[in-house]
């Protein structure tokens, strides 16, 4: 039995806003990442699964229960980290200290993690006595993550858990999420960081305009894409002239100032032609690499082809 099964889920806010047809499955002992542009419907989907919002239609099974009918059972088994700065703000008493909030939440569960150890693990010991409203944005995010985990849940919903985290804190959060998975917890998270999804997720669900565009593992989604050639050079190279010099229908683009990509397929002839052209024009091509497309470039293609939500 999967951790979460969502089928034909719909919720309308207005005639245009909302989600219209979401189906996906999230396995146990796995990280499932919901991806999508702002307004794609990630938070709506997650909050319906947590029983925080009501659906209009469709079926949702969370740990094989209905999230509305079995709410009181599921709150014991499921941890939730709501999106920060969303419509419902932080969800924490502004004047309560970090340690107090942790202990308050811990006191609700039968076998909680030790608040002090969890704080230590997330580098929050130094702010344990600080009132919530005086925490930095990233510190609030980490406390919020800790609160979702303190009750030793079987399943956690993390809505943008690493938004606003510094590089170190993001690594710490990733390690913790991986450790949760290996301990047998099912994790459903949303993120805008495609590298994060690529690193962490066993399965990815790409939403757009309230629908599912694609599902699969990051490897599935990037497989079949042929390698591209990337290099950096002074901005403003004449890519049309370069393209004209390339064999096998290859084309060159400047993806960002000074960053060039050659595709759709590269082979030794194309690489030779690119370097020859650069030599002719006295251009030093740096960071010359070939690689399959990243999840990010697949995501960009998928979501722009469908237009904005």
Partner 1 sequence: MIALDLSPAPGAAPALRTFRAQALMELKLVLRNGEQLLLTIVIPTVLLVLFATAPIADLPKPRIDFLLPGVLALAVMSTAFTGQAIGTGFERRNGVLRRLGTTPLTRPGLLAAKTSAVIAVELLQVGLLLLVAWALGWSPHGSVAAVVGLLLVGTAAFSTFGLLMAGTLRAEATLAAANLVYLVLLVLGGVAFPLSDFSGGVRDVLQYLPISALSDGLRTVLAHGAAAPGRDWLTLAVWTVVGGTTAARFFRWD
Ligand X SMILES: Nc1ncnc2c1ncn2[C@@H]1O[C@H](COP(=O)(O)OP(=O)(O)OP(=O)(O)O)[C@@H](O)[C@H]1O
| 41: contact with ligand X by CB under 6 A | yes
Q: In this structure, what are the phi and psi dihedrals at residue 79, rounded to the nearest 5 degrees?
A: -100, 145
| 179: contact with partner 1 by CB under 8 A | yes
Q: Which of 27, 29, 30, 39 binds ligand X (CB under 6 A)?
A: 39
Contact assessment for residue 177 and residue 189, using Cβ atoms and an 8 Å cutoff: yes
Pick 83 or 303: Cβ nearer Mg ion: 83
The least CB distance from residue 24 to Mg ion, in Å, is 16
- Stretch near partner 1 under the rule CB under 8 A, chosen from 112-120, 159-167, 205-213, 243-251: 112-120
Pick 43 or 172: Cβ nearer Mg ion: 43
Q: How far is CA 167 from CA 84, 109, 222, in A?
A: 18, 32, 25
Q: Please report, as residue ranges, which positions from 43 to 102 form the binding site for Mg ion (by CB under 5 A).
A: 43, 83
Enclosing H/E stretch for 11: strand 4-12
Q: Please report, as residue ranges, which positions from 3 to 22 form the binding site for ligand X (by CB under 6 A).
A: 13, 17-18
Question: Partners of 146 in the beta sheet?
Answer: none
- Residue 210's nearest CA partner among 13, 4, 2, 59 is 13
Q: With left for phi above 0 and alpha for psi between -120 and 50, is residue 214 left, alpha or beta?
A: beta
Q: How open is the CA angle 107-113-114, to the nearest 5 degrees?
A: 80
| 209: contact with ligand X by CB under 6 A | no
Q: How far is CA 21 from CA 8, 44, 110, 198, 263, in A?
A: 5, 12, 37, 25, 34
Q: Please report, as residue ranges, which positions from 44 to 103 form the binding site for ligand X (by CB under 6 A).
A: 44, 83, 87
Residues binding partner 1 (CB under 8 A): 50-52, 72, 75-78, 80, 82, 88-96, 100, 103-105, 107-113, 117-118, 120-121, 149, 151-154, 176, 179-180, 183-185
The binding site for ligand X (CB under 6 A) comprises 13, 17-18, 36, 38-44, 83, 87
Residues in contact with Mg ion by CB under 5 A are 42-43, 83
């Amino acid at each position: 039995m999967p951790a979460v099964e969502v089928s034909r889920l719909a919720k309308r806010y207005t005639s245009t806003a909302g989600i219209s047809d979401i189906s996906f499955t999230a396995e146990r002992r796995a990280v499932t990442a919901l991806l999508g542009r702002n307004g794609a419907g990630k938070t709506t989907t997650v909050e319906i699964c947590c029983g925080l919002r009501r659906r209009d239609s469709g079926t949702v099974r969370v740990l094989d229960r209905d999230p509305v009918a079995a709410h009181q059972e599921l709150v014991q088994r499921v941890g939730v980290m709501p999106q920060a700065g969303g419509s419902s703000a932080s969800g924490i008493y502004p004047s309560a200290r970090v340690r107090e909030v942790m202990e308050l939440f811990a006191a609700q569960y039968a076998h909680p993690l030790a608040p002090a150890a969890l704080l230590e693990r997330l580098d929050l010991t130094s702010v344990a006595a600080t009132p919530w409203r005086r925490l930095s944005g990233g510190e609030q995010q980490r406390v919020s993550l800790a609160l979702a985990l303190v009750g030793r849940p079987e399943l956690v919903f993390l809505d943008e858990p690493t938004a606003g985290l510094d590089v170190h804190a993001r690594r710490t959060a990733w390690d913790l999420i991986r450790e949760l998975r290996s301990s047998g917890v099912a994790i459903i998270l949303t993120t805008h960081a495609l590298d994060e999804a690529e690193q962490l997720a066993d399965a990815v669900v790409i939403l757009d305009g309230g629908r599912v565009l694609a599902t699969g593992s990051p490897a599935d989604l990037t497989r079949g894409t042929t390698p591209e050639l990337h290099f950096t050079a002074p901005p403003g190279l004449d890519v049309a002239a370069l393209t004209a010099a390339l064999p096998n229908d290859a084309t060159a683009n400047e993806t960002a100032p000074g960053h060039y990509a050659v595709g759709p397929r590269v082979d030794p002839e194309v690489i030779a032609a690119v370097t020859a052209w650069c030599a002719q024009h006295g251009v030093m091509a740096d960071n010359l690499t070939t690689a399959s497309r990243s999840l990010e470039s697949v995501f960009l293609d998928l979501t722009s082809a469908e237009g904005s939500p």
